[in-house]
Structure 1
């Protein structure tokens, strides 16, 4: 398993994107987004996605030259048509609008349709946090999750992310795990996955990686996960005028555009209290949680964001490990666009 310094991995990723005719400013945005996920240990949303993006670009299923357009803006609400542009560029644009509108109005809600995969939702929610705002990001995804009591995929992993000024960052799928974790296990020929992650194609729970890859993911907490996924669907695809989930493409649904919808909400903290006071209060709440005595089998109580921040500190110092299957996929993607593979 190669371990690559983050700057070197970023250069390699950006070279692949540039060779696939992604404009430099967009290639830089995509690279920063993906590398951030690898640094945080969320490898399912890091450079593992780059071969898929490359395939999309070379097949003409995603338009690297498109920028998207504002469909309407009224008060604190904005609708954006991604026009099949690169998902990270759509998200970068929409986050900029959300931060701007929240400054003016106190709150902003931006919904985008006809977009593509935008990487980790946390990267975008943190854009709003960095502006002193509460950032909430959601999106729909490929229909590989059955609704509760169903046995065919109708919903996506439909993540929910919330970032705030202070030491707390929630980024979760509405399934037991993100789809990328099953894809990573499949790419690396891992024979089994933990129980509770997935169903086979007949809707029977499975730990077989191949069956899970060809099957479906389990909703988080049964009917509650299905309810949360529906909420995300309404706030992203329904509200934006985007396609229903059965029309969304993705890694498992090649030969057509992805067409996902996304939602970006920004709340201007300073309209309620000074940002410094809010941050202090968040820190107080986090300290309260972490002062809880640890349950048997645990050394400490952690809050959302803790594991990722610790992993990021370690990987910035020691480098980013890339599983062999993922590295082979990256090398193949590089070969398709004529980019030399760095020695590792």
Structure 2
């Protein structure tokens, strides 16, 4: 069953919740804002739905509420930071801000973060960079939840990947996991009692399936592009691990819970080129060209990355966010 909740109400409830669990006032505001923004964008799977799990991680001592990312090494425009196993959202916001600052000073800045926790909706930090006028390339490794192509057991992560491009009429923000469906999205389908629209992973009989419960039980997601997604997952894991001197998916697999992940925050400041009008024109002509096409089916249309998230935010700000009643009641109980 679903219900509608106003964004202001959600943010107030979540702020009180995070204060109750010992967060400072500033961190409670940052967390409640980010979880609410993610839900406003229609990404419940990495917004409100993740709050109970986040609280469990705090109770279990996996997320250190007082820890915060700190710089440990500097190499010109590249920096290494250590998250101290603090809240992933807080660490990611801070490292995105630092990468933006480096980019605005040098044209490009990269922050490689180790020992952090789940950053929830990866795209939130792409939007943050775009709002600051920066192009961004961001990614994280995860626990193993996909088989490497040709293998049976999960050995690679679905390593969420973000590219954002600032644009006057709506930022372009690609936010995708390297599994056909993120596991948060699979869980969302399961909550609704629905099948996936396409196969999303393997069941216990090694058959590709649309059944979310079967995939969640095995945590064997299907890589995007089959062998291509498998290879891309490995390379992103290698880059995140090498640049941060942090943990790989292999190391993360040895832990009971997914923690101590490695993340990359790369920002570029395009205003330094001095041709902002041309940049907007070039991006707009690509969007116009892809929009101007006959639909495959009546009622269908094309979207640029981030277009639907922006539309959802506008719609949900007016009419409230549709969320799972059971999830909301569990948050109120907390």
Question: Which TM-score band (shorter chain)?
Answer: over 0.9
177-186 or 218-227, which moves further after superposition? 177-186
For 1:139-178, list aligned pairs within 5 A.
139-166=140-167, 167=170, 168-178=172-182
Cα distance change on mapping 1:205 and 1:132 into 2, 3 Å? same
For residues 130 and 211 of structure 2, what CA distance do their matches in structure 1 show?
39
**Are 2:137 and 2:162, in contact at CA under 8 Å, matched by a contact in 1?**
yes
Match of 1:337 in 2: none
Where 1:143 maps in the other structure, the secondary structure is coil
1:305-344 equivalent positions in 2, closer than 5 A: 305-332=306-333, 334=334
Question: Could you tell me which residue of structure 2 aligns to residue 137 of structure 1?
Answer: 138
How far the C-alpha of 1:30 sits from its partner, in A, is 1.6
Q: Does residue 231 of the first structure (1) align with residue 235 of the second (2)?
A: yes
Give the aligned length: 329
Which consecutive unaligned segments of at least 5 residues does structure 2 have? none
CA distance in 1, matches of 2:306, 2:106: 29
Residue 266 (1) aligns with residue 267 (2): yes
2:50 is the counterpart of 1:52? no
The CA deviation string for residues 59-94 of structure 1, in whole angstroms up to 9 with x for no partner, is 111101011211111111011110101111111111
User: Which 10-residue stretch deviates more, 292-301 or 305-314?
Assistant: 292-301
The residue number in structure 2 matching 1:291 is: 292
Contact 1:135 1:267 (C-alpha < 8 Å) held by counterparts: yes
| Range with greater deviation from structure 2 (280-289 or 292-301) | 292-301
Task: Quote the residue 2:212 is aligned against.
Answer: 209
Q: Tell me the distance in 2 between the aligned counterparts of 1:323 and 1:257.
A: 24
Q: What is the SS of the residue equivalent to 2:175?
A: strand
1:239: Cα distance to partner? 2.1
Aligned partner of 2:280 in structure 1 is 279
3-state DSSP of counterpart to 1:154: strand
Kept in 1, the 8 Å contact 2:248–2:261? The answer is no
| Residue 225 (structure 2) pairs with residue 221 (structure 1) | yes
Aligned-residue CA RMSD (Å):
1.9
**Structure 1: distance between partners of 2:244 and 2:47:** 27
Give the TM-score of the pair, scaled to structure 2.
0.92
> Secondary structure of the residue that 2:147 maps to in structure 1?
coil
Instruction: Kindly state the Cα deviation for residue 326 of structure 1 after the two structures are TM-superposed.
Output: 2.2
Correspondence 1:58-73 to 2 at 5 A: 58-73=59-74
Query: How far 1:317 moved relative to its partner?
Result: 0.5
Taking the aligned partners of 1:67 and 1:307, their CA distance within structure 2 comes to: 32
